[in-house]
Amino acid sequence: MTTIAERGRRLEPDQRRAQILSCAVRLFGERPYADVSTTDIAAAAGVARGLINHYFGTKRDLYTEAVRVLVTIPPVAVEQLPAGDLVTRVDASVAWFLDVIARHSTAWLAAVDAGDPDVRRVLAEADEVAAASILTAVGLPDTGAHRAVMRAYCGLAKATAREWLERGALDRKRAHALLAVALVALVREVLP
């Protein structure tokens, strides 16, 4: 979130870009794409609207970058997993995923259901990052077969999240259990 101090001081270009992107992620996480204007984002970031165009081009380009941030697992998420056995690491990984999508549910659901080719491309890239991250988290090598299984698991994770967030057919506890048990079973039963 933008602080008062950030609004009143000059930031380096990378910092300003990151600040605008952070505000966009927050706003797109709270409201649908059509309900967020570049003026809203500029106001939240404390910048002139023209800076959005300068750093991102169009509102659509900024949205695509915001989606990338929302759906791509950052390296720090894997680095900060607790040491421990498979179940402990899987449990923490699933909790992290559910926390992130709960915090940004509106934007996340819109993104994973998007028909927009640019957003779909971002989702495909995010699935590759997720597959590699999960393999790292569970201590398996990143081979073609292993990655294919993890991409399939990503599909299960998205479907489970929809059942929880969109349909209300699962509560968080059951969504967590489903994803954790499935991942442990894949690692122990399918991938050895």
Residues 184 and 101 in one domain: yes
The string of pLDDT tens digits covering residues 139-160 is 999 999 999 999 999 999 999 9
Helix 117-138 to helix 59-71 angle (10° resolution) is: 20
d(CA 180, CA 182): 5
Last residue of a domain, one of 21, 42, 65: 65
d(CA 65, CA 118): 10
Residues 81 and 159 in one domain: yes
Residues 92 and 30 in one domain: no
Burial of 56 (0-12, 13-18, 19+ CB in 10 A): buried
Q: What pLDDT tens digit does each residue of the chain (192 aa) get?
A: 444 444 556 788 889 999 999 999 889 878 888 899 999 999 999 999 999 999 999 999 999 999 998 889 999 999 999 999 999 999 999 999 999 999 888 888 888 887 789 989 999 999 999 999 999 999 999 999 999 999 999 999 999 999 999 999 999 999 999 999 999 999 999 987
Nearest to 127 by CA among 101, 145, 153, 146: 153
Answer for the pair 178, 160: CB distance below 8 angstroms, yes or no: yes
Last residue of a domain, one of 16, 41, 65: 65
The domain of 87 spans: 72-190
Residues 111 and 171 in one domain: yes
Residues 45 and 92 in one domain: no
